[in-house]
Amino acid sequence: MLEVTTGKTGRRGEEREFQSKILNGGVYVDQNKFLCHADTIHWQDIVKYPRLHPIVVPTNSSVTCHKCHRSCTGRCWGPKEDHCQSLTKTVCAEQCDGRCFGPYVSDCCHRECAGGCFGPKDTDCFACTNFNDSGACVTQCPQPFVYNPTTFQLEHNPRAKYTYGAFCVKKCPHNFVVDHSSCVRACPSNKMEVEENRIKMCIPCTDICPKACDGIGTASLQTSQTVDSSNIDKFINCTKINGNLVFLITGIKG
């Protein structure tokens, strides 16, 4: 499985093309004779751990490909001037622990940046390795409670946000529920959905979690006439039946 970050950014009115970054996995390209510029890409600059993951790419193709634009110094994704590959890893100073935007120590990207940056701050990233909090790349979203070292207690965090995909949000979308401090599509099996202060959230069940099931002749059991061995598993842990339960004596006594 590959995790890839890619994109395009601009600064001071200039549009700047930047490279992808493969966070997990390697690169393997084979038997694609029409693929151009596979050998003009610096793959080691893209893969996060090139020593651990294989990089197998053909060195040429059977078709005539256009050369990189002269401004790209031999590294490009295509023949145009804006197809140059911007190196953000292999050109960095040894002190940089991630990406960079130049060869000097002062040009190191923030450690939460993915794919490169145009400055040293966590708001200068092309993309975020973990989460985006209103434009700043962070390790985790602001938590509901923070520790007060003076009172030795956890206190409510007024700036808390929920995790929604790769973003930190003040409110989950209407079709999501809150589980801990994250937006989820549905509560897990050991929790039930409740609404508190107009917020839908998941809380642990004190006993069997509420579970609504279809009755005989409805929805998924529309073609069923009775409860039998073919459908009885659908009623496991049901606390509410939307419809009827129909049994035959032979289904009980055999």
Strands 136-138 and 125-128: unpaired
Q: How many domains does the chain have?
A: 3
Clarify whether residues 199 and 216 are in a common domain.
no
Distance CA 12, CA 236 (A): 62
Distance CA 187, CA 178 (A): 8
Q: Determine the pLDDT at residue 61.
A: 62
Q: Determine the pLDDT at residue 10.
A: 45
Per the DSSP assignment, residues forming a β-bridge with 148 are 153
For range 219-230, the mean pLDDT: 90
Clarify whether residues 42 and 92 are in a common domain.
yes
* The residue type at 173: P
Clarify whether residues 105 and 160 are in a common domain.
no
Show the tokens assigned to 42: 């610096």
pLDDT tens digits along 102-145: 999 999 999 999 888 999 999 999 999 999 999 999 999 999 99
In a domain, 132, yes or no: no
Q: What DSSP character marks residue 176?
A: -
Higher pLDDT, 247 or 48: 247
Distance CA 171, CA 8 (A): 28
Clarify whether residues 44 and 150 are in a common domain.
no
Q: What is the pTM of this model?
A: 0.68
Q: Which runs of E-coded beta strand occur in the chain?
A: 3-11, 14-24, 27-28, 55-56, 113-117, 125-128, 131-133, 136-138, 145-148, 153-156, 162-164, 167-169, 177-179, 182-184, 191-196, 199-204, 212-214, 240-242
In a domain, 149, yes or no: yes
Q: At 153, which CATH number?
A: 2.10.220.10
Distance CA 245, CA 247 (A): 7
Higher pLDDT, 53 or 56: 56
Clarify whether residues 195 and 219 are in a common domain.
no
Q: Determine the pLDDT at residue 76.
A: 92
Domain extent at residue 41: 3-126
In a domain, 105, yes or no: yes
* The residue type at 208: I
Higher pLDDT, 63 or 86: 86
Q: How confident is the model at residue 60 (pLDDT cuts 50, 70, 90)?
A: low
Higher pLDDT, 188 or 20: 188
